[in-house]
Structure 1
Amino acid sequence: MPAQTERAASPGGAAPSYGEGNVFSCPIDKIVPQRGQPRQHFDSDRLDELAQSLREHGLLEPLVVRRRPGQDDFELIAGERRWRAAQRADLKQVLVVVRDVSAKDAFELALIENIQREDLDPIEFAEAMDRLVKEHGYTQDTLAQRVGKDRSTIANALRLLRLPATVREKVVVGELSEGHARALLGAPDDKQLSDLAEKVVRGRLSVRQTEALVRTAKDGKAPAGKGGAGKDNKPANVRDLESRLTKRLGTKVEVREKDGKGEIIVKYANWDELDRLLDVLL
């Protein structure tokens, strides 16, 4: 660590200058995490790996902090993963750089740092965007400019917050990608959306297969068009069989029956969906 920038922060009142841009070695127990930090999930194994690196080489890049008003400690702005790993490594002092910013600006800096490092999962990003809209009055256009994203990226991210909580959690833990989540948003209702999400995870379906699955679910909810009356006149046991087969196979199934004979028609939207059906049936 450069000697000219290392100054120990006193635990109590009198301390070296904490001015903008000042870099010094700070007691780790004098740093608190930012309330409402955009990033909420940290991989434990990766933290352990980073902690081992910190034991061997120390913290080479300063954490970014701000002085908490009326307190003798600091709030973390950027570098929470390194701060957590430093705690695991049992480091007593860490290098920090002070920024003289408001709580609002601190949140924006934390968000931008995480975006630049691609540290946020899709739900964390969506929640951060939503907070900036609701608490700080940003429009989607302004947000796009601030974080360096297209407006459509912001709009698509905010749509993810319409997912049921159980489905959002699947995105957080990596069981569903953002593409899967966007496709599932087309489901007719939350119940079907959650059921379809389970099928996607169990079947390890691709995004295209998920889109086909959602289209099938929507077709099942849509009013009958030409020829719909014939379907409505089917016996209850035949309609029930169609429903159970559709649910089991994850695609539209039609049962045609006459005089005790008939046929079962299994529909698919593309070759990927046909491959999936063959895996289920064979």
Structure 2
Amino acid sequence: MAERKRGMGRGLAAILPESEAGGPELRELPVEMIEPNPDQPRTSFEKGALDALAGSIRSAGLLQPLIVRPSDGGRYELVAGERRWRAAQQAGLKRVPAVVRVSPEDERLQAALIENMVREDLNPVDEARACAALVDDLGISKEELARRVGRSRAAISNLIRLLDLPDPVLGMLEDGRLSEGHGRAILVVPDQSARSSLAKQAADGGWSVRETEDRARGKGGGKAKASRGGRISAEERAAMGEAEDALGEALGADVRVRRAGAGVRAELRFDDLDELAALARRVRKRG
């Protein structure tokens, strides 16, 4: 099974806007005076990783400060860094370094969501939920979100589409039995029941993403046929995959390449007409 790419390669400090009225202030705070963020998009913290981080903190201390905001009763609420906070408690720290920010509610949630998206250990479903919350609930455009987390607009759109999968399939993505690429392939199938069935077969059979795509197209998304009726070879699959990646990166769109009789067809998928119009404008400018 192909390993999915995780994390977005930029730290929180690079993407959080500077505060004006109440600038950031670094303090040492009692760990028991800090509360978790109720809007925290992460739903689970892997025990092994938490244990390892706690061990590192025991040896070297908490090197990266938490980010908090003032709360009621002289307490503080986490904006970012809940995993580090939990590990610090596990390591027995009494006080922790923290950057205190006074931020509007939307900025608070944005920071928490984006901090989770730039982590390397976040599963694609949590990433997708964070993207959807930022775009749908907080009104951040996909272009702006892509810029702030260092991904393409197409990658953001692809993540959000994963949430169209049925719950059993999302569960397989969360626990690592299937990758983000498998999820995108299964979306080709229009029926939710068939999606669940295909996902189970892919997980049980250890199918590659390319094999899952081929099976998905045979279940209603357009059958993948080799020229002159033959099977698609491994070399052809690799070439089609490379073409999808290159075109997707160049156009900033979701691209699918498949056989069409004796030829090959490339399809572009868009969330709406606005996304299509934006691509048309970019292409026109390049011309």
Amino acid at match of 2:57: L
3-state DSSP of counterpart to 2:63: coil
Maintained 8 Å contact 1:212/1:269: no
Q: Distance in 2 between matches of 1:141 and 1:199?
A: 35
Cα 1:80/1:36, change in 2 over 3 Å = same
1:43 aligns with 2:49: no
**Structure 1 unaligned regions, length at least 5:** 1-18, 223-250, 253-266, 273-282
1:212 aligned to which of 214, 222, 227: 214
Question: Aligned partners of 1:139 and 1:269: how far apart in 2?
Answer: 39
Question: 24, 27, 33: which one pairs with 1:24?
Answer: 27
The question of 1:201 aligning with 2:195 is answered: no
| Helix, strand or coil at the partner of 2:41 | coil
C-alpha RMSD over aligned residues:
2.6
Does the aligned pair in 1 maintain the 2:116–2:127 contact within 8 Å? no
TM-score scaled by length of structure 2: 0.67
Residue of structure 2 equivalent to 1:82: 84
Cα offset for 1:74? 0.8
SS at match of 1:149: coil
- Give the CA deviation at 1:218: 1.9
Confirm or deny: 8 A CA contact 1:39 1:119 kept in the other structure. Answer: no
Match of 1:101 among 103, 108, 112: 103
Q: 1:52 to 1:147 in 2, by over 3 A?
A: closer
The within-5 A match list for 1:125-164 is 125-164=127-166
* TM-score with structure 1 setting the length: 0.68
The AA in structure 2 aligned to 1:92 is K
CA–CA distance in structure 1, aligned partners of residues 81 and 161 of structure 2: 28
Give, as a single letter, the amino acid of the residue that structure 2 aligns with 1:181.
Answer: G
Amino acid at match of 1:190: Q
Provide the residue aligned with 2:61 in structure 1: 58
- 1:104 Cα offset (Å): 1.2
Structure 1 residue 40: Cα displacement = 2.6
**Separation in 2, partners of 1:141, 1:40:** 26
Deviations 1:47-83 (A, max 9, x none): 1111122222221221111112x44211111211111
The residue type equivalent to 1:199 in the other structure is Q
Cα separation, 1, equivalents of 2:234 and 2:128:
33
| Post-superposition offset of 1:106 | 1.7
- 1:279 maps to which residue? none
Comparing 109-118 with 84-93, greater Cα deviation is found at 109-118
Distance 2:144 2:62 in 1: 35
Residue 208 of structure 1 and its aligned partner are, at CA, apart by 0.6
Give the secondary structure class of the aligned counterpart of 1:94: strand
- Gaps of at least 5 residues in structure 2 are 1-21, 236-287
Residues 189/270 of structure 1: CA separation in 2 closer, same or farther (3 Å cut): farther
User: Runs ≥4 in structure 1, deviation > 6 angstroms?
Assistant: none
Q: Please say which structure displays the higher CA radius of gyration.
A: 1
Q: Is 2:117–2:130's contact at 8 Å kept on the other side of the alignment? A: no
Which has the larger displacement, 197-206 or 57-66?
Answer: 57-66
Q: Separation in 2 of the partners of 1:144 and 1:41?
A: 25
Specify the SS of the correspondent of 1:34: coil
1:144 CA displacement: 2.7
Deviation for aligned residue 1:108: 1.7
One-letter identity of the residue aligned with 2:171: E
Partner of 1:187: 189
Q: Do the aligned residues in 2 keep the contact of 1:63 with 1:78 (CA within 8 Å)? A: yes
Identity among equivalent pairs (%)? 43
Aligned counterparts of 1:198 and 1:115: Cα–Cα separation in 2: 27
Partner residue, 1:14: none
Shift of residue 205, structure 1, vs aligned partner = 0.5
Q: Determine the C-alpha separation between the residues in 2 that align with 1:35 and 1:116.
A: 19
Please report how far the alpha carbon of residue 161 of structure 1 lies from its aligned counterpart in structure 2 after TM superposition.
0.5
CA distance in 2, matches of 1:141, 1:58: 37
